[in-house]
Every structure is written in structure tokens, then in C-alpha cells.
Chains A and B, each alone.
Chain A
Amino acid sequence: MSKKVAFLQGNEACALGALYAGCRFFAGYPITPSTEVAEVMAKELPKVGGAFIQMEDEIAAMAAVIGASLTGIKSLTATSGPGFSLKQENLGYACITEVPCVIINVMRGGPSTGMPTGPSQSDVMQAKWGTHGDHPAICLVPASVQELFTETVRAFNLAEKYRTPVTVMPDEIVGHMRERIVFPEPGELPVINRTAPSVSPQSYQPYDTSFGDIPPLAAFGSGYRFHVTGLNKAQDGFPTTRADIVQAEEERQVRKIENAVDDIVTYEEYLLDDAEVVVIAFGSIARSARYAVNAARKNGIKAGLFRIITYWPFPDRQIRALAERAKAVIVPEMNLGMTVHEVRRCVEGRVPVSGIFRVDGEPISPNEIFARIQEVR
């Protein structure tokens, strides 16, 4: 049987990926350039017996998503920069309460209203540091329509497996581009559901670490009664200010992701085996970078591309390894230098790292990257 193929927009593929993953609740607020995600969900969710709601604001949308997820329903919201800023409050709530959910942030120019229809990659730091306090972060940065589908599925899987919010952050180009997508058959991609409690409602505790760093989460309405609060809490879910418990719980919440980097971190290596000039890029700019690397190879320059797919946790170990053999690293990105700092942190001065930064609403072209490759070779 031939596979189902379509010509789709990135945001549309994202919504269909969410449905594939079993998402049955969406709450959102209109914002360019992510609105198509909401539009597809509004149309498709009733067909599968799910629920769509357009809330009064971004904050409320994030809140509703967490509320719905606590009843055991996989839940999604989608937004862009200004909305992502507003969502940080309840994103932090999802972190500390460890409620699985997926947030799509289609990156546009900023700060503030910025350039609503212009592409950007300047929210990557916000995805990790945007909400206050220490907390884990998982952030995926797809580069194609196909990948926006599959990474959205993976985002739900990671959210459910690690009991945490996950952000998927295509830049506006990836969100709005149209290209061919081959739909995975049902069952072709893994679909993970959160671990239900194995203990009775009487002995259930929502943060019971005797089950490891990722305690099972019961659903409201399923016979398990428990308390959820944004205050620092003990294993039983109730607030505590006891120093040893607060310290241990905070550390566990960060550790549960840090210890799983091998399972979470994904990336693509392109012509890196003998590469002397390494380009590190993600999203639509990785597509420009691939052209540039190909052009360099044609010109006899040993260039390669390291494409970040999982931005957080950052692929520290892989980039550190690249620095052992590369002579130069180039980081093109649609911001004024964010990833470049992470890369410099990883390579620890062993190799020169330069950035190509654009925030003018235009993508970075293959020529710009190729020119830099020639400069640094």
C-alpha cells in the first residue's frame, strides 16, 4: 500500500502530528505566525471527539491546557513570541507541578510585537530561562514540514514520558513553508502515554519518588484524589518549606531531564567525518547551511553541518567532540547571538567560533554562510 502523501504547511503538519500523538485538547489564542495550528485543531478535534477552546488570552490558554492534561488528556497550545512571553507564568507552573503538555512557539521577530510575519530564532533562550526559578527544559527545533509533524509527536512522547512541558519551536519559515509530507501510518511512530499509578488511591502520592525520578501521574476524575500546587511541595503534593525536601525536589526535577539526555537529545550530522569547518545551525537556517556546505565541498573545502534538532537539553557532548577535530566553527542564526554562546561554552576555547546573525526578518542565505566558510577555512 502506498503511503499517504500531501503538500502541507508546517503549522498544519504540526497540528496533524499532535493528533497522531493522541492530543485531544487544544486551548489557544490567535497569534501570527502560529494561528494555523489552532485553526486545524478547531476543525479536526471535534472529529475525533476532542475539545478545542479559544481562550481569552495566552495565559488562560496555557492554564486550560494544564487543567485538561491533569484529567489525563494530552493537551496542546500554540503561540508566538509575545504569547510565549505571557505563557511563561503557567509554563513554570507546569514545570513545578510536572504536568505533561506541549507548547508550539512559532518564532517571529522581537522583542515585544517585533515583526509578526518575520522569521526569527530568538526565543531559544526564553525556552530555557523564560520562566523564573530553576526548572528543566525540553525544546525541539524542527527544520522541515515533515519534521514538524514527527517532532510534535516526539514532543508529546517526551512530555508524557518525563512528566514535563515540552516546547516545539519552528521558526516562522518552517511554520509557514509548504512542502511534501509523507504521513506515518498509525503505529509507525511510537506513541507514549504517561505512566498511570500502580498503587491504590489511598496510598497514591503525586510525587512519590519511590517510583524513581518520574513519579506516576494520576488523572483527576479517575478515582485518585490529590492536591496540586505551584508552591514548593513534598512527595504528597502539599506545600512545604522544609529545606531538605525543597532542595531534593528541585534537584530531582532538573535531574530527571539531565539524566536522560541520551534519550532526549537528537541532532543530524552531515559530512562531519572529515570536516575542518563545522557549521552549527537549526531550523530553516540549517537548510541554508546545507547548501553552503555542499558549495564548500564542491570548492574543495572540508565543511560539514551539525544540525541541532533538540535545542534543550543542548547537545553539549556532541559539540564538544566536534571541537576536537574542527579548525573553525560557524554558527548562523536568526538572532544577535544566542546559540553561539552555548557553542562557545561547549568548545571551551579549543576552536574559534564565529556567528552570522540576522534579525532583519530575512533568512540567512547559503551565500552568506558559504562566504564565511571561505573566510575561516
Chain B
Amino acid sequence: MGFDYEKYIRPGKLPHIWCPGCGHGIVMKGLIRAIDALSLDKDKTAIVSGIGCASRLPGYMDFCTLHTTHGRGVAFATGIKMARPEMNVLCVGGDGDGVAIGGNHFIHACRRNIDMTYLIMNNNIYGMTGGQFSPTTPFGAKASTTPYGNPDPPFDIAKLAIGAGATFVARGTAFHAAQIEKLLIEAIRHKGFSVVEILDSCPTTYGRRNKFKSVVEMMNQLKESAVPVAAAEKMSPEQLEGKVLTGVLYKENKPEYVAEYGKLVTRVQESMAG
């Protein structure tokens, strides 16, 4: 037997809604393998999302799943984690959901360092609404709302996360499928707010408009542009031009929010007891 993904997928939910060549399915498989490797208790694990193609992921997963409003997944997840600290809380979504409409929630969750993992599937586009440019669409790229090329400079999600105080930040790609699992295992194990950005493919609404002949070309671009952090250390700035770093980009141990709040509760209750 190969790996039994369907053990973690709700009966009858496959095939999923994602388009041919969409990398979200690859990422979901990485997430499932990570959950399996960590033996997370299905009953004690919540998977939360916002709105968009990537945010449809929880519906397939046989866990406590919450498909919320656009960009708000992390805020709902924060409520779950505060109310039930014993639960594993995973949040998933896309680039528009996470860093445009949900940008405020994202940076504050990073700052708070609340123990959850936020998996962002970054395909550089609003796919579900038909391909409008997102905050990660590259400068000059075509989208339905940038017919003459994108005049907006993009966010670097990983840098944004690090700047906002996330204590674990990693990046992978949908092409580097085995790495997704490894990054997620490390992220979920990390005590604090962990961000895993997976550079993803949207052949339907991004690829077509931007001269990618097929998803294979998009995958090849992910393959060629990704440079593992260790390799990048030995490369010159010229060699790194146009590349993206992958792997664990940042990690530090800092007080975690829910644990700190728990200490506060204990302190208050002890002082009441006299």
C-alpha cells in the first residue's frame, strides 16, 4: 500500500474542486503527511480557513474544520486556541486572503506569537474570482484587473511574517513536494506562531495570462527559482537575482501567547487565594 491519504479525508469528498494543475492538492497532501507523521489527534485538531480556492481545503479534511469569512481565518483560529489551548490549530489560506484582506489579522497573529501554524498557499492571484491581481502578484504581471501589467509592487510574505514577529517562518514550493511535509512538521512542532508559505501554481487564471504554456512550465519555474537557504549562503547577489529562498528562513524561541496567558491566570488566582 502507498500512503493512505484518504484516512484523513472525509468520505466521498474527492475529487476536489481545484483546477487541473493547481498546486493546492499537492500542498494538501504535504499537510496530510505532516499530520500523519505527528500523529495529531483528529478530534483535537482544528483546521481553519478564510475564503478563496486554498480556503476550501478544510472541507476535505476529517478534523474540526471551520471555513470562515474572507481573510479572517486567523482571527477565528485565535478564538479557538484561546478557548481550548489543548487543541492543535492549523490555519490555511491563499495570498489574497492572508495578506490583503486578512493582512491585519496576519501581522497581529505573528506579533502575538500564538501557538498555531498558518499555511499560506501563494499562487500570486485571486483564483476563485477569476484572476485579479493579489498583493503577491509580481510587478508587471498580467491579471484580469491589471490588463496592462501590474503597477503594484508585491509583498514578500515570509519577510512580512518575520518583520511582524512570527517565530517560525519557512517557504517551500508546490514543485518541491517532499519538502512541504518536512517544513510543516517542523512548523507544527514549533511552540509559537509558525508561517509556512508554499509558492503555488494557478495555471487557470495566472499561467494563461502570463505566457506559461502549461502547468509544467509553472512547475519548472518554481523548480528553477527556488534556492535552499544553505545553498544561498554560498551564492553572490548576482547569482541570487530573481531567486527565492526556500527552507526554514527564521526560527526563534519566544514566550508563547496562550502559555503566557495561562501563567497570568495562575498568578491572578494565586493572589486571590491569598
Given contacts A90-B69, A90-B72, contact A221 B78 (CB under 8 A): no
Q: Mark B257-273, 1 if CB is under 8 A from A, else 0.
A: 00001001100110010
User: What total of chain A residues lie within 8 Å of the partner, measured CB to CB?
Assistant: 43
Separation of A114 and B119 alpha carbons in the complex (Å): 40
**Interface contact B75-A63, CB-CB below 8 Å:** yes
Give the residues in chain A near B87, CB-CB below 8 Å.
71, 220-221
- Which of A47, A60, A224 touches B72 (beta carbons < 8 Å)? A60
From DSSP, what is the main secondary structure of chain A's interface residues? mixed
Give the residues in chain A near B108, CB-CB below 8 Å.
55-56, 60
| Stretch of B41-49, B166-174, B186-194 that contacts chain A | B41-49
**Interface contact A68-B69, CB-CB below 8 Å:** no
Residues from 224 to 243 in A contacting B, C-beta threshold 8 Å: 224-231, 238-239
**Interface contact B261-A64, CB-CB below 8 Å:** no
- Chain A residue with the shortest CB-CB distance to B66: A228
A285 shortest CB reach to chain B, Å: 35
**Interface contact A67-B66, CB-CB below 8 Å:** yes
Separation of A201 and B104 alpha carbons in the complex (Å): 36
Does B215 lie at the interface of the complex (its beta carbon under 8 Å from any beta carbon of A)? no
B21 shortest CB reach to chain A, Å: 23
Does B160 lie at the interface of the complex (its beta carbon under 8 Å from any beta carbon of A)? no
Does B1 lie at the interface of the complex (its beta carbon under 8 Å from any beta carbon of A)? no
**Interface contact A226-B64, CB-CB below 8 Å:** yes
Q: Mark A206-226, 1 if CB is under 8 A from B, else 0.
A: 000000000000001111111
Give the residues in chain B near A250, CB-CB below 8 Å.
none
Separation of A53 and B79 alpha carbons in the complex (Å): 9
**Interface contact B76-A227, CB-CB below 8 Å:** no
**Interface contact A66-B76, CB-CB below 8 Å:** yes
Give the residues in chain A near B79, CB-CB below 8 Å.
25, 27, 53, 63-70, 75
Give the residues in chain B near A334, CB-CB below 8 Å.
none
Does A57 lie at the interface of the complex (its beta carbon under 8 Å from any beta carbon of B)? yes
**Interface contact A68-B80, CB-CB below 8 Å:** yes
A373 shortest CB reach to chain B, Å: 47
A-B contact pairs, 21 of them (CB 8 A): A25-B79, A27-B78, A51-B82, A60-B72, A63-B78, A64-B75, A64-B76, A66-B79, A67-B66, A67-B83, A73-B84, A75-B79, A221-B44, A225-B63, A227-B58, A227-B59, A227-B65, A227-B66, A228-B67, A229-B59, A230-B68
Task: Given contacts A55-B78, A227-B59, list 9 more A-B pairs with CB under 8 A.
Answer: A53-B79, A53-B261, A55-B108, A65-B79, A67-B83, A68-B82, A70-B79, A89-B72, A230-B51
